[in-house]
Amino acid sequence: MDSLFIDGEWVTPADRERIPVLNPATEEVIGSIVDADASDAAAAFAAARKALPGWRALPVGERAAYLDALADAFRDRGEELARLATAEIGMPLAESRGVQAALPEQVLRSTAQAARDLAWEYQDASGSTVIREPVGVVLGITPWNFPVHQLVAKLAPALAAGCTIVLKPAELTPLNALFLADLCAAIGLPPGVVNLVTGRGSTTGETLVQSEAYDLVSFTGSLGIGRHIGEVAGRRIVRATLELGGKSPAVVMSDADLAAAVQTTVKNCFTNAGQKCNAPTRLIVPEARREEAMQIAAAAAASYRLGDPLDDDTTMGPLASEVQREKVLSYVAGARARGARVHGGGAAGFDRGYFVEPAIITDVAESDPVVQEEIFGPVLVLLGHHGEDDAIRLANDSPYGLSAEVWTADPAAARRLAEGIQAGQVRINGVRSPNPPIAPFGGYKASGLGRELGSFGLEEYLEVKAVLGSFEPVEED
């Protein structure tokens, strides 16, 4: 702990500020990290730059084998990782096992396979040779809500592509990132291929972003910081991939099973206490059935058991921080003050921990902040539509376009809705996440630029070179 992982070594700069890491369920300090400075950032980038030629020269199969070895480490030590992530983020342990251990393991394996399957070099119809090359040194900056997954969703494709990487995890959840760096060392990854620098976004993060030492920045987080990073990258003309927020709709048509649609949407919305960028936070049902939907959603919300995220009976943990809890409570209070009908949404009456009761909100204007803005907490807004066109209009009435869910018994309607809604992913009738996790993930509109996972995720870390003419020796006559 309180070390940085640079050039294959743990370094512990003595004179940097330490930042405490809290358990959001107990408010206890569970560790501390270094607030890394510009010299640490420079050392990390230098290590990544030095490691780049050797790493990119490895045959792709060897790079893929390292990812598989890291996946094996996730399998073997997944329980530790899940518990550590739960301690940092407060996610119920069963959810952590899936999202922080099993999912990253699958992402590592499927990305290794995508790299083996990629056409790294081919001749096109003009006879030109098209070659894929790694972009270079990557800066990866990640948020706290699915911390392990978000790190791996950058590390895996970067390494598979032949890039080296400097990672900056969220200040709230750095311990799992340190654990990940340990696993990278344990599998014998060459020094400098993966480097980890901890610290605050406003200090360490900003220093890293302003550096001229990276060739691509991959960011997951909020719209505001994403816009800033995109501007900095734009000035330098380096590529930025941005995975930003969402306000995803779940559209239910009159021929769908309303109870199943509402209950599943509540469940998907309240995963990780609603701190999920692709959470379906706007439930859009036929107006004539909105009252019935409200009753079903309120009953589903009332059935959540808040408490210790390590307890098997707990279905909702705390929010990640006090700041996050206050933000969520103020959104709910604001909607109530503007005349909305709210079920739940109060602070849970525990002595400790940043708990908020899940909330269902209806009778609210389409322009209301709780309908338009990303809350990032257990808050589901219920709206009524007047038929398919109106449902699509409402679904698209958002600055975001990350994900959408549609519920209908009519396959033709499902296609029209999937085509009409502007979102990077559309899920039909509650389909679960695919395994392997290779479906492209990313946003339309303000939800971002670029895609993660599978072959599309890999592409983000590759340059394309066209070689015109022949590599054959010129024949003499």
Nearer to ligand NAP, 100 or 142 (CB): 142
Q: Restricting to residues 139-168, name those near ligand NAP by CB under 6 A.
A: 141-145, 168
- Residue 277 CB, nearest approach to ligand NAP (Å): 3
Nearer to ligand NAP, 286 or 450 (CB): 450
Q: Whose CA is closest to 367, among 251, 444, 282, 288?
A: 282
Nearer to ligand NAP, 203 or 429 (CB): 203
d(CA 39, CA 231): 24
d(CA 44, CA 30): 26
d(CA 230, CA 357): 35
Q: Supply 461's token pair.
A: 């870390």
Nearer to ligand NAP, 136 or 245 (CB): 245
Q: Is 374 in the site for ligand NAP (CB under 6 A)?
A: yes
Q: Are 384 and 282 in contact (CB under 8 A)?
A: no
Contact characters 376-395, ligand NAP, x per CB under 6 A: x-------------------
d(CA 64, CA 47): 21
Catalytically active residues are: 243, 277
Q: Which residue is nearest to ligand NAP (CB)?
A: 201
Nearer to ligand NAP, 112 or 209 (CB): 209
Q: Are 417 and 388 in contact (CB under 8 A)?
A: yes
How many helices (H) and strands (E) the chain has is answered by 15, 22
Segment contacting ligand NAP by CB under 6 A, of 195-203, 340-348, 352-360, 458-466: 195-203
Rounded to 5°, angle at Cα 402 from 284 and 253: 25
- Residue 36 CB, nearest approach to ligand NAP (Å): 11
Segment contacting ligand NAP by CB under 6 A, of 37-45, 59-67, 194-202, 304-312: 194-202
Per-residue buried b or exposed e for 375-388, using 16+ beta carbons within 10 Å of the residue's own CB: bbbbbbbbbbbeeb
Strand stretches in 23-150, DSSP E: 29-34, 121-123, 129-134, 137-141
**From 88, 95, 171, 308, residue interacting with ligand NAP (rule: CB under 6 A):** 171
Q: Is 458 in the site for ligand NAP (CB under 6 A)?
A: no
The SS3 of residue 349 is coil
Q: Supply 259's token pair.
A: 């109870």
Q: Are 181 and 194 in contact (CB under 8 A)?
A: yes
- Residue 8 CB, nearest approach to ligand NAP (Å): 23
Burial of 106 (0-12, 13-18, 19+ CB in 10 A): buried
Give the binding-site size for ligand NAP (rule: CB under 6 A).
29
Nearer to ligand NAP, 171 or 215 (CB): 171
Rg of the chain in Å (alpha carbons): 23
Q: Is 327 in the site for ligand NAP (CB under 6 A)?
A: no
Give the CA distances from residue 180 to residues 65, 73, 278, 327, 454, in Å, rounded to whole numbers and listed in that order. Answer: 17, 10, 24, 30, 21
**From 8, 147, 205, 280, residue interacting with ligand NAP (rule: CB under 6 A):** 205
d(CA 96, CA 312): 12
Q: Is 201 in the site for ligand NAP (CB under 6 A)?
A: yes
Nearer to ligand NAP, 225 or 332 (CB): 225
Contact characters 244-283, ligand NAP, x per CB under 6 A: xxx------------------------------x------
**From 202, 303, 330, 470, residue interacting with ligand NAP (rule: CB under 6 A):** 202
Segment contacting ligand NAP by CB under 6 A, of 131-139, 203-211, 292-300, 358-366: 203-211
On the question of a cis peptide bond just before residue 191, with omega within 30 degrees of 0, the verdict is no
- Residue 278 CB, nearest approach to ligand NAP (Å): 7
**From 115, 178, 225, 413, residue interacting with ligand NAP (rule: CB under 6 A):** 225
Residues in the chain: 477
Q: Is 315 in the site for ligand NAP (CB under 6 A)?
A: no
The footprint of ligand NAP (CB under 6 A) covers 141-145, 168, 170-172, 200-202, 205-206, 209, 220-222, 225, 228, 243-246, 277, 374, 376, 402, 448
